[in-house]
Amino acid sequence: MAVSLLIFRHAYTSGFNKLMDIDSDTFKCSLHTSTFTPSQDANDFQNDLANELAATGNYATGGATISPGVVSTVTTKQYNVDFSDAVWANLTMSSAARYGVGYDSTPGTAATNPLLFYVDFGADQTVSGATFTIQWAAPLPGGVASFSVT
């Protein structure tokens, strides 16, 4: 099962237009079923998300907080962005999760909360009464994203 993390194209626009601040805003990760079809090119705000897991069994609508965002310098031309892992303790899923979606919740509404990335688990995942964790890659370069300036 190949797990992949992909950045939404509009995340760059949101950052350049000061719609999100990696260092100080609150970010969340929500879980979605396989009937949601993420689009790196079209999805830009939380209101584009569909088929989130129901709020039950220790899952709250909107997902888990993944903060703070940390930007670190690897070399003079390489930067990494990382967050705390997304963790749901004693989780019983209402249905299988296929995707985790990271977004900035600071603006406050689904129409203004910018999307940052999504994780495709490669297959449906289910948990009943156990901890479910999305752990970002380590060691460096790792985390959610690594950027190089050329």
Residues 6 or more apart whose CB falls under 8 angstroms from that of 135 comprise: 85
The SS3 call for residue 80 is strand
pLDDT per residue as tens digits for the range 28-80: 999 999 999 999 999 999 999 999 999 998 999 999 999 766 777 767 777 77
The SS3 call for residue 131 is strand
Give me the sheet containing 145-148, strands edge to edge. Answer: 70-75, 78-82, 145-148
Place of tokens 């600071």: 106
Distance from C-alpha of 117 to C-alpha of 111, rounded to nearest angstrom: 16
pTM of the model: 0.90
Structure tokens at 100: 């985790």
pLDDT per residue as tens digits for the range 12-35: 888 888 999 888 899 999 999 999
